[in-house]
Amino acid sequence: KQEVTQIPAALSVPEGENLVLNCSFTDSAIYNLQWFRQDPGKGLTSLLLIQSSQREQTSGRLNASLDKSSGRSTLYIAASQPGDSATYLCAVRRGSNYKLTFGKGTLLTVNP
């Protein structure tokens, strides 16, 4: 059974700091890994999707990496801003199953 863990559960940083969020998964036989952000009381916004054959994906100040063999992914946020404050979730898709298995998320607070 696939399990996804996100560490830390919460993170508070000052504005302008670079930061890394971690995601680990137990079964390396994944199709892809997706990072989302969730604002309080809202749905999920897709940030990046990394295919199993890729090592990283970049979008603006966000960079996500994937090490499938070790079961790890990181989301790097450069020059953090208060607007980045949200819960960040990672999810993995295994094989041909449509199911995404989610971690419980990291609550990020960027202080001005």
Exactly one of 19, 49, 62, 107 binds another protein (CB under 8 A); which one?
A: 49
Cis preceding linkage at 8, omega within 30: yes
Exactly one of 22, 24, 28, 32 binds another protein (CB under 8 A); which one?
A: 32
Min separation Cβ 45 and another protein, Å? 7
Min separation Cβ 32 and another protein, Å? 5
Min separation Cβ 89 and another protein, Å? 7
* Other beta carbons within 10 Å of 18: 11
